[in-house]
Amino acid sequence: MPEVSVVLPFYNAEDTLSAAMESISSQTLQNFECILVNNNATDRSLSIAEHYVAKDNRFRIIHEPRQGVTYATNTGSSYAKSPNVARMDADDIALPTKLEKQLDFLGQHPDYGAVGSLVKFGGDAHEAAGIKRFVDWNNSLVSYDDILANRFVESPIVNPTAMWRKSVEQEMGSFRHGDFPEDYELWLRWLQNGVKIAKIPEVLLIWNDPPGRLTRNDERYSFDAFYRIKAYYLSLWLKRHNALNPYVYIWGASRRIRKRAQMLQEHEIQIKGYIDINLRRKIGEKLIHYHDLPNPDEAFILVYMPHHDIKKKIKQHLNSNGFFEGFNCLFAA
């Protein structure tokens, strides 16, 4: 039995698939299987995969006619022979010790259900500055506590870094298909249900950013899609942990922030008011200056400001006024 089943979906990846497969073949952990999932490729990807399978019997091809990475990944995982499943993308590069170190982590930590790693950004840091900032932030989250505390900011795990126990997937459910980012939804759902996730504190994947990557072009990975699925799981957390539920204050009052925060109202969360630096905004709702915060015993504040540098100052200000993360405030952007 293979120690790890690597699931690698592909669709029109003729320029990158060979390098991705080679990076798996070159792993220091050699007892693996790699399930290549052809998701209706129309370029040379399938023939490239077939050529590789012919020379390395640890690789095999299956076909998923339903279009979409969610279907392809779930089908691949259903064929996995190992109790441990690792995710891989057709345009990324796994560094040689990835499988070995992640499998060793799961072996030493039986209470953990999944493990990721840090990534090296393989795109242009100037042209894709936003993604580079996301990578830097994501790489700062290593422990389970950090991942859990920051899961409502952005997706805390880079999907192709992940390895998980198949038993967890069977119990908690696999990727869901919908109008949302399937990986973020899965991490939110698993964390919501008590699955412990951490990262190997070193770079084990080169995360590339080709022009055709789904996160660039598919509406399921838009900012609004992220905030919609976030609102649902955040509402579940608030109902369990906010002593003043369903009432919250929102830090930030721009039109964009209000639109995103108001998604919470679809899940029975009520916004008592907005906190901002600019009281001249005409928003038609209660607006208070950040120097006039409500009593910490009488308010729960959700910070929707997306700028990392500003958030550090907000956190300091909240703490000095009796607001602490997870107790009476939370960062949601």
One domain for residues 159 and 106: yes
Q: Are residue 182 and residue 229 in the same domain, yes or no?
A: no
Q: What is the DSSP string of 57-79?
A: TTEEEEE--S-SHHHHHHHHHHT
How far apart, in whole angstroms, are the C-alpha atoms of residue 181 and residue 243? 30
- E strand or H helix at 48, and its extent? helix 45-55
Q: Are residues 90 and 151 in the same domain?
A: yes
Model pTM above 0.85: yes
Domain edge (last residue) among 189, 221, 253: 221
User: What is the rounded average pLDDT of the residues 143-159?
Assistant: 97
Condensed to tens digits (0 to 9), the pLDDT of residues 31-41 reads 999 999 999 99
Quick one: 85 and 161 in the same domain?
yes
| Cross-strand pairs, 207 | 121
pLDDT greater than 80 at residue 211: no
What pLDDT does 249 receive?
98
* Same domain membership, residue 230 and residue 217: no
Average confidence (pLDDT) over 11-40: 98
Q: Are residues 70 and 141 in the same domain?
A: yes
Task: Give yes or no for residue 212 having a pLDDT over 70.
Answer: no
Report the domain count for the chain: 2
Question: Does 255 share its domain with 160?
Answer: no
Q: Is the pLDDT of residue 97 over 90?
A: yes
* pLDDT value at residue 122: 92
C-beta separation of 281 from 253 below 8 A? yes
Q: Which of 221, 256, 288 is the last residue of a domain?
A: 221
Helix axis angle, 182-192 to 223-241, nearest 10°? 10
- pLDDT bin (cut points 50, 70, 90) of residue 209 is confident
Q: Using 50, 70 and 90 to split pLDDT, how confident is the model at 216?
A: low
Average pLDDT score over residue span 24-33: 98
CATH number, domain of 176, equals 3.90.550.10
182 and 244 assigned to the same domain: no
Sign of CA dihedral 146, 112, 21, 202: positive
Residue 150 binned pLDDT confidence (cut-offs 50, 70, 90): very high
Could you tell me what percent of the chain has a pLDDT over 90?
A: 91
Spatial distance between the Cα atoms of 214 and 112, rounded to a whole number of angstroms: 29
Q: Are residues 160 and 20 in the same domain?
A: yes
Q: Do residue 206 and residue 293 come from a single domain?
A: no
Q: How confident is the model at residue 148 (pLDDT cuts 50, 70, 90)?
A: very high
Range of the domain at 194: 4-221
pLDDT of residue 214: 57
- Which residue, of 171, 189, 221, is where some domain finishes? 221
**pLDDT tier, 217 (very low <50, low <70, confident <90, very high otherwise):** low
Q: Report which of residues 128 and 93 the model is more confident about.
A: 93
| Per-residue pLDDT at 194 | 98
Return the SS3 of 222: coil
Q: Quote the mean pLDDT of the chain.
A: 96
Same domain, 169 and 97: yes
pLDDT for the residue numbered 307:
84
pLDDT of 84 above 80: yes
Condensed to tens digits (0 to 9), the pLDDT of residues 256-298 reads 999 999 999 999 999 999 999 999 898 999 999 999 999 999 9
Q: In this structure, are 59 and 169 located in the same domain?
A: yes
